[in-house]
Structure 1
Amino acid sequence: MSATTTAASDVTAAPVTRDTSLPRRDIQGLRALAVTLVVLSHFWPGRLTGGYVGVDVFFVISGFLITSHLLTNPPQRWRDLGAFWGRRVRRLLPAATLVLLASLVGSVLFLPATALPRIAHETTAAALYVENWSLASSSTDYFAADDLPTPVQHYWSLSVEEQFYLVWPLVIVAALWCARRARGRFPCVGAALATVFIASLVLSLRDTATNPAAAYFVTPTRMWELALGGLVGLAEVRGARLVPRAGRAPLAWLGLAAITAAAFLYDDGTPFPGIAALLPTVGAAVVIASATDGVVGSPDRAWSLRGVQLTGDGSYSIYLWHWPLLVIVPFVLDRPLSWPVKVALVAVAFLLGRVTKAAVEDPVRHSHTLAGPLWRTFLVGGLLMGVTATAATAVGVHEEHAAASATDAVADALRGDTTCVGAGAARHPSTCDFVGTKLLTPATFAKDDKARVYADHCWNSPPFTSRKSCMYGTAHPEARIALVGNSHAGSWEPALADLAEKHDWQVTTYLTSECYTVDAVQVFDDGTGENCLDLARWQIRSVAQGGYDLVVVANRTWRQLEGVPPDKYDATVQELYGDTLSTWTRSGIPVLAVADIPYHPSSVPDCVAEHPDDLTACATPETVAVPHDPLARAARADRSGDVSVLDVTDRFCADHECRGVVGGVIAYFDQGHMSATFSRTLEPDVEKAVMAAFR
């Protein structure tokens, strides 16, 4: 890299007269506020519903500090960039690695084995600072919503910042090179920062509306928040007075009010980080621009409190520790966290943060040994990342081997006498133990024991613009069956596909995620209800015109309908299902409607992993578990003679309880979707119903 000089008109119109060796009290105060909001909202999400905006405050602070540093000390050569990145490594990696390894150990010791593969994967992603992309990928998975949170998923925000630290110096260097070539005729740095800000904000607005789950995590939709802080930093370095002295105090209070308002008014339903993110981020930018240190009547008096400054100083490590404590300790105690325990854990998080700051962050950050030859820093950083990723991978591989061994054991069991295996035990309650004394499908196996339609990508998922269909069975069938519905229909594919091979049938899927099969607009937070309607119409029409010999339909029905009052919902949905069934029967196709299966309040495999010696702990009262299914009611009310109902509730439930484990088989891969193994044990029930439904 050639030497780089800066154009005075672009960057340094006037010097900044303050001691840059000392942290600003207002910024430390903002850090303290940000971490407090995040911690309190995680421990008491129902009280401080929008405390997650504390992360956005951190983004603005980071953008301001890094940009100010890079413009005040512009990199002149590649070594300068290496030195910058080296300081980031020494500052961030040691504490992050300590908490990652501690979280991994705690997970292995106390968390259900079913959670370990995902924890291992996310720990590796966190160690490599790509956790935000990992979560963005899994956030679009409907079934991931019921998974236990991992103790490292809060590393997504650190990943965003690390990616920013990697790219931002290059943006600044390019802008400074432009400034040198333009000789002050073009505001290159300002233009570069503004371009990133605008482009990222536009992308954030678009993706928050169209793909909100992923938009929350990915760096391109968050970069504008850091660039906003960078614009404030640019103004300070140039000596521009963004806030007149008389307005500093009131504007600082106004900025704090904006952050606080967002923390209390926002919740999980707020589209974020779109337009809503402007309130806390602009508020943070205003507080920073006000520069209230020593300003009478400003928040400086509160910022100056020792507790506030210590919290701000240790905010990074406090943030690292609070989430693993919240996730792991309930399993250590084997009960939900009470209010006093939460208070104690918050205190522990703050204490661990301060200890980590003093014992790990500062000594490594100021180490003359590491700060000497730059290669030492990167060597140590690489070793820290490598050790963490290797340890996590070892945990994941161990669990994968356990699941593979379980697969073989299950296959052997199903090849033998299946009379009392799975639903067979429910069919023979007088001779078989309904629950099953020997667990044939371990929890780690059951977690991924899904129908082939998942691996084959047969789903039409949000935003419901695809029209996917899969085919199983013979190419020259004796009969053609359409399997229709949402994810609860997909759980029947293992039983139907096996029967198709046995009887020379062909099964064609028309499956969607969440969206159930009625001709009405269902309510989705991301506004995809119209797309869901178009997809449902495609399912109904394609089946009616497909010349099938039988339709097998199943749905979980839970989303509200647009324009339908809650007290009219059940009757309206039942009527709409009646219309769907009539469309098919009028086309000459008989219909087998499958009543929805019982539903549990939490993941059954996770429950089994927690209570391996007491499988009855994973049962749910029948009054809670059995859903009110409007599809089954509509099918029973049909008078055409061409609609029948398959209801296997009694294969799950006995003595007023619905079991998660039946005949030694874990019946679910989550809390409401049947495992593939249990689906296959229902083949006799399915075969009998299908044969009766054929004309």
Structure 2
Amino acid sequence: MHFRSDINGLRAVAVALVVLFHFGVAPVAGGFIGVDVFFVISGYLMTGIIVSRQLSGSFSFATFYLERCRRIVPALAVLCVAVLVAGWFLLMPSEYMDLGQQVIAALTFVSNVLFWKTGGYFQESAHDLWLLHTWSLSNEWQFYLLYPILLTVLARFVGQKILRWLIIVAVLLSFTINVVGTLYSPSGAFYLLPARAWEMLVGALVYLFPLRLKDHQQRLMAWAGLALILAAALLVSEETLWPGYLALIPVLGSGLFIAAGHQRCALTDNRVAQYLGRTSYSVYLWHWPIVVWLGYFSLENQPLWLVIGILASVAAGHLSYRFIERGITRSDGLLQRTQPATRLGMLFGIALAAMLTVVANGVPARLSADFRRASAELSMPIVTNGWCFYSVETIATLPVGSRGQLCRIGAQDGQLKALLIGDSFAGHYAPFWDAIGKRLSIDVQSVASDWCFPAEGQAFTGPTSSRAYAQCLLNRAYLKAGAHRYDLIIFAGSWGVIRHQRKMNGVYRAIRRTSGRAPLLIVMPTPTNFDVNVADRYARTLLFDIPFDIHKYGKQRDVSARLANTELAGVVNRLGNAIFLARDDLFHISGRPSDVTHENIPFGLDESGHLSIYGSYKAADAFSETARYRSLAQRLDAVRTQRTGMGLGQR
């Protein structure tokens, strides 16, 4: 296809909106719609390339895919190398391991699937994902793989004239998936191709149904299209369900602008816009890691640094365009002169390096021994580090079965016998109950596995096809059969998630049933859920010797957890032999509620509210200072006396 300056200028508008949005420049609250504009442009250009070559008899799948690869992969590969090198010096082991997974997903064009499983695009934790923006490239590449096959098959069996009407049907089908998916699975609708294909296919329709317009009609349509795009950028926000039906606004605007074919639009036909349009792909690639870098050092809200970040994005984009993009297309370019086998070897080398970071668990040895010692207890207590959480889902060598019910903590010769049971939140309380058990002479048996919250029935927060589900059924059967053998039963779970999935009724039934079979039942609270991994944020401050302030981090994820804790407390406190331990009993400094310890180290570990080994121990120290702890000790003394009186004290 011949070069069109209007489309090149539209690229500039799209990338400018995305960059301004990601750097938080007001009032572009909906600048993320720039990606929707890119999708329409891609659909138009790809349809033009494929259909024009098919009509001339010169279309080749191999040539088409090779051209797309040469257009996208080199600059992406260089970016992946750069972030892997930067991550070596900047990232915690868990973060570096995650980065390795992101690099592999980006280079294989499945990062949209990875980030769909990871979480929402607009969550605060997304600012820790260095290659989050590659989700759109994965969508486009998946489209490139399937689309020429679809067009070729349809052209052969129904002809070009009917083909374009079938494209309309495909647009309507994908748009329906988008609207329904946005309501019921927002993350899937945002990231995955079936809900995004319609945007690229709208671009296809613009090519397949060309318009012949007079000059004044072109101007009017072009400006109408730009007005729709800019209106969307200014009026929608992160709070808007997206894409949904509102995505029609920028998509329709992009389609109108391209269909107009207006080459002399003042906003797009100028030197700045044309330059930014040419470098838009590289600018897009580099701007997001710079945004993440600013956030990494808590510079994202400082105006000077935002200006520096935007300028750095443009500069990095220029260098990438000059030496990488043009280097692969110009006959005298450096990359063009390298052999195809060499280029392929480089790509495999990058992927191998990324795989090694995953296999090596983020290469913790690259960090100093002092740092590793200081941060050693900022991790989840699990069987691999000497604790009890029996994660059959993440540790393939663990067998499903009774082995997951054998771990003991606390006072091994304790006068009282306790059972700690639940999901990973029971697992993270193991250090807590180890310390309390030793203080109060309690032998605690821990039965904790993935997603297995204490409940009656078969409700489960994870996939029921997993090994973890089989382990959970065994754990619940163990509780049901043996609750009467314990002096104390302790329930712990991710109550916020369970409440969100509307599965608390089984928990309430288990509480009532168990409280009638054991002398005492304790229900542990779900700790504070942050929007970011607070332990990693704290570890960064250790690594770079900068102050740590936990108040900077949001708690939007904590809403459901707080409500669940309150509702549980209401149920538990109505029972005579049950105690709900509130957050304030565990997480405080001298009675003042706190998310950090005396040493200004967070109790929490990650976004889900898990405690670190350190945080769990410190919660036990804080709890031992409270009146609730003294009351618990008295109640346990009563249980101990009752057992002795019944002749059961030496069970």
Instruction: Provide the TM-score with structure 1 as the length reference.
Output: 0.68
Q: Is 1:473–2:473 an aligned residue pair?
A: no
- Name the residue aligned to 1:271: 241
Contact 1:608 1:615 in 2 (8 A): no
| Alignment of 1:392 onto 2:354 | yes
Matched, 1:344 2:344: no
| Aligned pairs for 1:445-460 within 5 A | 452=389, 455-456=392-393
Alpha-carbon distance in structure 2 between the residues aligned to 1:211 and 1:512? 24
Structure of greater relative contact order (alpha carbons < 8 Å, 6+ residues apart): 1
In the alignment, is the contact (CA less than 8 A) between 1:107 and 1:116 conserved in 2?
A: yes
In the alignment, which residue of structure 1 is the partner of 2:469?
none
After superposition, the C-alpha distances for 1:201-243 in whole angstroms (9 at most, x for unaligned) are: 222223222221122111222111111101111123xxx54x6
Matches within 5 A, 1:514-529: none
Q: In the superposition, relative to structure 1, how do residues 647 and 71 fare at CA in structure 2: closer, same or farther (>3 Å)?
A: closer
Report whether the alignment pairs 1:55 with 2:35: yes
- Distance in 2 (alpha carbons) for counterparts of 1:61 and 1:366: 23
Q: Cα 1:245–1:544, aligned 2, differ >3 Å: closer, same or farther?
A: farther
Aligned to 2:143: 164
What is the SS of the residue equivalent to 2:60?
helix
Residue 173 (1) aligns with residue 152 (2) = yes
- The equivalent residue for 1:612 is 542
1:480 and 1:505 in contact (8 A); partners too: yes
- Name 1:675's counterpart in structure 2: 612
The equivalent residue for 2:104 is: 124
CA contact (8 A) 2:379 2:613 kept: no
Shift of 1:190: 1.0
Residue 41 in 1 paired to residue 26 in 2? no
SS in 1 for 2:376: coil
Task: Note if contact 2:381-2:428 (Cα within 8 Å) is conserved in structure 1.
Answer: no
Unaligned runs of 5+ in 2: 395-400, 408-415, 456-476, 643-651
Q: Does 2:289 match 1:324?
A: yes
The equivalent residue for 2:411 is none
- Report if the CA contact (8 A) 1:482-1:543 is conserved: no
CA distance in 2, matches of 1:470, 1:492: 21
- Secondary structure of the 2:611 match is coil
Amino acid across the alignment from 2:19: V
- 2:202 maps to 228
SS, match of residue 439 in structure 1: helix
Contact 1:490 1:511 (C-alpha < 8 Å) held by counterparts: no
Q: CA deviation at 1:196?
A: 2.9
Q: Which residue of 2 aligns with 1:430?
A: none
Separation of aligned partners in 2, 1:190 and 1:262: 28
Structure 1 residue 389: Cα displacement: 0.9
The correspondence for 1:28, drawn from 1, 5, 8, is 8
- Deviations, residues 630-683 of structure 1 (Å, cap 9, x unaligned): 639946994653232446867654466857579999854315311367658989
Q: 1:692 to 1:402 in 2, by over 3 A?
A: farther
Check 1:585–1:404 CA distance in 2 against 1; reply closer, same or farther (3 A cut): farther
How far apart are the structure 2 equivalents of 1:403 and 1:371?
34
Matched-pair contact (CA < 8 Å) for 1:205–1:274: yes
Give the gaps of 5 or more residues in structure 1.
1-19, 295-299, 410-435, 458-468, 518-541, 563-575
Specify the code of the residue in structure 2 equivalent to 1:393.
M
- After superposition, the Cα gap between the structure-2 partners of 1:359 and 1:390, relative to the gap in structure 1 and judged at 3 Å, is same
Q: Which residue of 2 aligns with 1:218?
A: 192
2:70 is aligned with 1:90: yes
Return the alpha-carbon distance in structure 1 between the equivalents of residues 232 and 402 of structure 2.
46
SS at match of 1:612: helix
- Match for 2:198: what amino acid? W
1:302 corresponds to: 267
Alpha-carbon shift at residue 402 of structure 1 (Å): 3.8
Letter in 2 for 1:51: G
Find the residue that maps to 2:576 and give its secondary structure.
Answer: coil
Corresponding residue for 2:222? 252
Contact 2:330–2:336 (Cα < 8 Å) also in 1: no
Closer/same/farther in 2, CA of residues 354 and 598 from structure 1, 3 Å limit: closer
Q: 1:386 to 1:61 in 2, by over 3 A?
A: same
- Once residues 572 and 110 of structure 2 are traced to their aligned partners in structure 1, the CA distance between those partners, rounded to angstroms, is 53
| Separation of aligned partners in 2, 1:350 and 1:613 | 30
Partner of 2:645: none
Shift of 1:273: 2.0
Amino acid at match of 1:385: L
Q: 2 CA distance for matches of 1:367 and 1:553? A: 68
Q: What pairs with 1:425-504 in structure 2 (closer than 5 Å)?
A: 439=374, 441=376, 452=389, 455-456=392-393, 473=405, 483=421, 491-492=428-429
Report Cα offsets for 1:231-257 as digits up to 9, x if no partner: 111123xxx54x676533222222222
Whichever residue aligns with residue 102 of structure 1, its letter is: A
Q: Name the SS of the counterpart of 1:216 in structure 2.
A: helix
Bigger shift: residues 315-324 or 259-268: 259-268
Distance 1:32 1:663, change over 3 A: closer
Q: Tell me the amino acid that sits aligned with residue 254 of structure 1.
A: A
The whole-number CA distance in structure 2 between the counterparts of 1:405 and 1:305 is 49
1:111 shift after superposition? 3.2
C-alpha distance in 2 between matches for 1:205 and 1:377: 46
